[in-house]
Amino acid sequence: MPFGNTHNNFKLNFKSEQEYPDLTKHNNHMAKVLTKEMYEKLRDKQTSSGFTLDDIIQTGVDNPGHPFIMTVGCVAGDEESYEVFKDLLDPIISDRHSGYKPTDKHKTDLNFENLKGGDDLDPNYVLSSRVRTGRSIKGYTLPPHNSRGERRAVEKLSVEALNTLDGEFKGKYYPLNKMTDAEQEQLIADHFLFDKPVSPLLLGAGMARDWPDARGIWHNEQKSFLVWVNEEDHLRVISMEKGGNMKEVFRRFCVGLTKIEETFKKHNHGFMWNEHLGFVLTCPSNLGTGLRGGVHVKLPKLSTHPKFEEILTRLRLQKRGTGGVDTASVGGVFDISNADRLGSSEVEQVQMVVDGVKLMVEMEKKLEKGEDIDSMVPAQK
Amino acid sequence: MAHSFGRILSSKRNVGILSLIGAGSVTAGFLLKREHVSAGAGVRRVYPASAEYPDLRKHNNCMASHLTPAIYAKLVDKATPNGYTLDEAIQTGVDNPGHPFIKTVGMVAGDEESYQVFADLLNPVIKERHNGYDPETMTHPTDLDSSKLTSGQFDDRYVLSSRVRTGRSIRGLSLPPACTRAERREVERVVVDALAGLKEDLAGKYYSLTNMTDQEQQQLIDDHFLFDKPVSPLLTCSGMARDWPDARGIWHNNTKTFLVWINEEDHTRVISMEKGGNMKRVFDRFCTGLKEVERLIQEKGWEFMWNERLGYILTCPSNLGTGLRAGVHVKLPRLSKDPRFSKILDNLRLQKRGTGGVDTAAVGSTFDISNLDRLGQSEVQLVQTVVDGVNYLIECEKKLEKGQDIKIPAPYRK
């Protein structure tokens, strides 16, 4: 949990090597980068809201990681964290985002019309399509750091903004702490309800404090556009529907996001964004677009093919189980989504999903007929 | 070197606590009278207290019962000299609303000074948890003279094992919810150094959690000594499990009858135990061991956190006073099925737990029976209560075996 600046000043009474964490058994991005020298250099710094180095790294210290999966191991407490602690975060960002340099610029493109195709993914294979991202509201600290007062202010502002939406976006907010049993049942049945985080990666960063205070779910009447308030980020925005019409899902995503952003700007609180990091979110892994566009797709044959992993890597895609991150696939159905977040635009990333999934479905069909797919394996994108 | 941390050379008679002044300067060894504990640098606040006050309407813990908006507003801007704040102290109670039947405490202390700086909240919490004990007016008796214990040998046919545990905190270093890595490592160093000075039947060895071999780990598991990273959200939400397993470890004597946990829920947990019903010998070793450890740390200029109002200072307000839980594993197949069992325990000021400890169920009618109280009575008094109570329970069991009737004892009077 975050201790902030009052406690950090006290810590400075001790020498750096007395406070430096033991990272010898750790395998995460933070542990790879945080040398004793860097710790000494950054330990007396804080952002203007009082977020400190130890607050940033606590989750990485408490979760040594896994020999095969490389977690990030740190979080931001506010927009300024990425500036004040850039000596630590820039190399982590570079490692995590394929060599992204501190001088690189990130392109934002939410023009859904720039997407080619995406309305013709075979619904016999593609069961559902979904695009999600996160947004942070400028001027407020992030979930690892915010106080109850601040979190409530984020909720209040978000609900005001969302309530101005109309047409296909007209909807309703369900705060977690006031939900009726009937509402809760319905949200669970719709697969909308999010729970208090259980992952120690999130708990170690202090994001679940005061649960369920100021947390809630907003969705439109058609249940195709959904916003989570105060879970891992200020806002998580989700557009989804059954079947393979990713084009429509992306259109609704872009239109809805743009409308929401306009409303927030009118309240003098736009989204955190800059031309180097794109959209600023709690976890460095979600910088840039913060976008995960994906499908649930049946690939029973392709998923057991020896080249499956290689194909995914070359297409810049990743697989997950149908329960989302850290789950297993059920019945040969996989969650396939873009691997990249930073350094390419929203349109580019969704394009990769559309093109890649289309190719993999064709491969699956070929394998069903007993044919070879080696000639179809793509070059590295 | 110890001078980076405050050292006090004061005897228990002097009511005084060391306060390290935060904000950049280190002072070595300076006494402040309890009444003059000053809060540390003020907390940076953007929103008014009313916007920050937690929603406790669905909560059932001692903190929620006593944290009014007025008390919150009064304390929210304060910090202890080490920088520990009210919001940090209550976080575990906000995050764990509790249970309709079990009332948890709902807050912790981050350092010795927390009990003073946040007294407006902690005193009513202590009063509720410890049956009306008022820290403002009452004094707590400490008595580790085990020779005063009578009838401390139980019938081995019923009592399978006997155990006494307590905790001790090292004055001048923050407690597990708040300690920095440097402080936690210093606690480990100070305690391990002292334990190395124990001799004869108390001589033993330290096993650091970070450096344990697989073999050592297996042996400690087989001996039922190894403690794990806490999983209970009551503990994890207060920040006690940070940096695990850095500076955590287990020390035990060669005969495996005296055991010390370092940096789990408290700086130290001290346990004396053996199979069978010789509570007298368990308590003798407990007192001897504790006094010896205290003497050894005092030689190096350290001491335990203690004052005459709250006794031994520990992380959880429920463990103030003696911090002592003396108990047995005892077979009570007939008595445990008697509808009067709970009432009998109540009147004897005893509580039952399963044989896995707190929050576990009994196995095959073997129960963990221990004292309910911690604060307001001395160690000798509490262990005597357990001895008298368990002897009574065994008498009941024997009566029921012979088909005789049993009586509910009169409620315990101090």
The answer to whether residue B351 neighbours chain A at the CB level (below 8 Å) is: no
Distance to chain B for A276, nearest Cα, Å = 29
Among B39-48, B186-195, B278-287, B291-300, name the one with the lowest average pLDDT.
Answer: B39-48
Kindly tell me the sign of the dihedral angle through the C-alpha atoms of B288, B294, B298, B300.
positive
Are A6 and B83 within 8 A, CB to CB?
A: yes
A65: alpha, beta or left? (left if phi > 0; alpha if psi -120 to 50): left
Contacts of B178 in chain A (CB under 8 A): 3, 7
Indicate which of A6, A9, A54, A196 best probes the interface with B, i.e. most B CBs within 10 Å of its own CB.
Answer: A6
Distance in Å from the first CA to the final CA of chain A: 40
Of the candidates A250, A263, A284, the residue with the CA atom closest to the CA atom of residue A218: A263
What is the structure's pLDDT at B24? 30
User: What is the average pLDDT across B28-33?
Assistant: 29
Indicate which of B27, B46, B234 best probes the interface with A, i.e. most A CBs within 10 Å of its own CB.
Answer: B46
Distance to chain A for B115, nearest Cα, Å = 17
CA distance A23 to B385: 48
The answer to whether residue A4 neighbours chain B at the CB level (below 8 Å) is: yes
- Contact between residue B9 and residue B29 where contact means Cβ atoms under 8 Å apart: yes
pLDDT band of residue A362 (cuts 50, 70, 90) is very high
Exposure on the CB side of residue B137, measured as CA atoms within 13 A: 5
CA distance B3 to B258: 30
> How many Cβ atoms are within 10 Å of A370's Cβ, its own excluded?
7
Cβ partners under 8 Å of residue A14, min gap 6: B4, B180, B182, B183
Q: Tell me which amino acid residue B224 is.
A: H
What is the structure's pLDDT at B14? 31
CA distance A311 to B200: 67
Cβ partners under 8 Å of residue B34, min gap 6: B15, B16, B17, B116, B307
CA distance B113 to B172: 10
Give the 3-state secondary structure of residue B260. Answer: strand
| Stretch 210-249 of chain A: residues touching chain B, C-beta under 8 Å | 210-211, 213
- Contact between residue A341 and residue A347 where contact means Cβ atoms under 8 Å apart: no
Cβ partners under 8 Å of residue A104, min gap 6: A276, A343
The answer to whether residue A50 neighbours chain B at the CB level (below 8 Å) is: yes
Q: What confidence tens digit (pLDDT) does each residue in A280-324 have?
A: 999 999 999 999 999 999 999 999 999 999 999 999 999 988 766
pLDDT band of residue B172 (cuts 50, 70, 90) is very high
- Contact between residue A136 and residue A142 where contact means Cβ atoms under 8 Å apart: yes
Between the CA of residue B309 and those of A311, B115, B134, what are the distances in Å? 70, 11, 9
What b/e string do you get for B177-205 counting C-beta neighbours within 10 Å, with b at 16 or more? bbbbbbbbbbbbebbbebbeebeeebebe
- CA dihedral of A237, A241, A245, A251, whole degrees rounded to 10: -30
ipTM at complex level: 0.90
Q: Tell me which amino acid residue A327 is.
A: T
Give the residue carrying structure tokens 């902030």.
A4
Give the 3-state secondary structure of residue B311. Answer: strand
Are A4 and B183 within 8 A, CB to CB?
A: no
- Tokens at residue B162, please? 């006997």
User: What is the average pLDDT across A261-268?
Assistant: 90
pTM: 0.89
The answer to whether residue A6 neighbours chain B at the CB level (below 8 Å) is: yes
The partner residue sitting opposite A18, judged by closest CB among B95, B185, B242, is B185
CA distance B313 to B304: 8
Q: DSSP letters of A162-182?
A: HTT--GGG-EEEEETTT--HH
DSSP structure class, residue B338 = S
Q: Give the pairing type, strands A317-320 and A171-175.
A: unpaired
Q: What confidence tens digit (pLDDT) does each residue in B241-271 have?
A: 999 999 999 999 999 999 999 999 999 999 9
Cβ partners under 8 Å of residue A375, min gap 6: none
Residue B44 pLDDT exceeds 80: no
Are B23 and A18 within 8 A, CB to CB?
A: no
The partner residue sitting opposite B182, judged by closest CB among A1, A14, A210, is A14
- CA dihedral of A248, A250, A251, A255, whole degrees rounded to 10: 140
What b/e string do you get for A110-141 counting C-beta neighbours within 10 Å, with b at 16 or more? bebeebeebeebbeebbebbbbbbbbbbbebb
> How many Cβ atoms are within 10 Å of B246's Cβ, its own excluded?
18
Percentage with pLDDT > 90 across chain A: 84
Between the CA of residue A207 and those of A226, A234, B32, B239, what are the distances in Å? 21, 11, 38, 13
Mean pLDDT, chain B, rounded, equals 88
What is the structure's pLDDT at A326? 65
The partner residue sitting opposite A213, judged by closest CB among B20, B55, B236, is B55
What is the structure's pLDDT at B30? 29
> How many Cβ atoms are within 10 Å of B32's Cβ, its own excluded?
16
Q: What confidence tens digit (pLDDT) does each residue in B305-317 have?
A: 999 999 999 999 9
Of the candidates B69, B259, B300, B92, the residue with the CA atom closest to the CA atom of residue B178: B92
Are A6 and B41 within 8 A, CB to CB?
A: yes
What is the structure's pLDDT at A256? 95
Contacts of B48 in chain A (CB under 8 A): 149
What is the structure's pLDDT at A1? 54
Distance to chain B for A315, nearest Cα, Å = 38
CA distance B320 to B346: 21
The partner residue sitting opposite B83, judged by closest CB among A9, A18, A152, is A9
Q: What confidence tens digit (pLDDT) does each residue in A132-160 have?
A: 999 999 999 999 999 999 999 999 999 99
CA distance A1 to A257: 31
What is the structure's pLDDT at B6? 37
What is the structure's pLDDT at B222? 84
Q: Phi and psi (nearest 5°) for B293?
A: -60, -40
pLDDT band of residue B38 (cuts 50, 70, 90) is very low
Are B48 and A149 within 8 A, CB to CB?
A: yes
Residue B3 pLDDT exceeds 50: no
Are B22 and A3 within 8 A, CB to CB?
A: no
What is the structure's pLDDT at A4? 55
pLDDT band of residue B138 (cuts 50, 70, 90) is very high
CA distance A249 to A130: 7
pLDDT band of residue B2 (cuts 50, 70, 90) is very low
Contacts of A139 in chain B (CB under 8 A): none
- Contact between residue B160 and residue B366 where contact means Cβ atoms under 8 Å apart: yes
CA distance B144 to B357: 24
Are A61 and B41 within 8 A, CB to CB?
A: no
| Stretch 42-71 of chain B: residues touching chain A, C-beta under 8 Å | 43-44, 46-48, 51-55, 58
pLDDT band of residue A193 (cuts 50, 70, 90) is confident
Are A50 and B44 within 8 A, CB to CB?
A: yes
What is the structure's pLDDT at A3? 55
Distance to chain B for A62, nearest Cα, Å = 5
The partner residue sitting opposite B94, judged by closest CB among A14, A58, A210, is A210
The answer to whether residue A199 neighbours chain B at the CB level (below 8 Å) is: no
What is the maximum alpha-carbon separation in chain B?
72
What is the structure's pLDDT at A8? 82
What is the structure's pLDDT at B224? 80
Are B239 and A4 within 8 A, CB to CB?
A: no
The partner residue sitting opposite A62, judged by closest CB among B186, B237, B244, is B244
CA distance B303 to B169: 8
The answer to whether residue B210 neighbours chain A at the CB level (below 8 Å) is: yes
- Contact between residue A69 and residue A96 where contact means Cβ atoms under 8 Å apart: no
Q: Tell me which amino acid residue B117 is.
A: V
Mean pLDDT, chain A, rounded, equals 93
The answer to whether residue A321 neighbours chain B at the CB level (below 8 Å) is: no
Q: What confidence tens digit (pLDDT) does each residue in B13-27 have?
A: 233 333 333 333 333
> How many Cβ atoms are within 10 Å of B372's Cβ, its own excluded?
18
User: What is the average pLDDT across A123-132?
Assistant: 95
Q: Which residues pair with B307 in a beta bridge?
A: B311
Distance to chain A for B242, nearest Cα, Å = 6
Distance to chain B for A152, nearest Cα, Å = 8
What is the structure's pLDDT at A293? 97
The answer to whether residue A177 neighbours chain B at the CB level (below 8 Å) is: yes
What is the structure's pLDDT at A190? 82
Distance to chain A for B232, nearest Cα, Å = 12
Q: DSSP letters of B51-100?
A: HH----TT-BBHHHHH--HHHHHHHTT-B-TT--BHHHHHHHHHH--B-S
Cα nearest neighbour of B58 on chain A: A177
CA distance B312 to B375: 9
CA distance A300 to A237: 30
CA distance A122 to A235: 31
Give CA angle at B138 (B136, B142), nearest 5°: 125
The partner residue sitting opposite B55, judged by closest CB among A7, A12, A177, is A177
Give the 3-state secondary structure of residue B386. Answer: helix
Q: What confidence tens digit (pLDDT) does each residue in B335-366 have?
A: 999 999 999 999 999 999 887 666 677 677 89
Distance in Å from the first CA to the final CA of chain B: 46
DSSP structure class, residue A375 = G
> H or E segment at B410?
none
CA distance A136 to A123: 34
Are B180 and A10 within 8 A, CB to CB?
A: yes
Between the CA of residue A179 and those of A188, A329, A357, B76, what are the distances in Å? 12, 31, 38, 30
User: What is the average pLDDT across A343-363?
Assistant: 97
The answer to whether residue B87 neighbours chain A at the CB level (below 8 Å) is: yes
CA distance B62 to B69: 15
- Tokens at residue A358, please? 């289309």
Are B181 and A3 within 8 A, CB to CB?
A: no
Burial environment of residue A295 by CB neighbours within 10 A (0 to 12, 13 to 18, 19 or more): buried
Contacts of A4 in chain B (CB under 8 A): 44
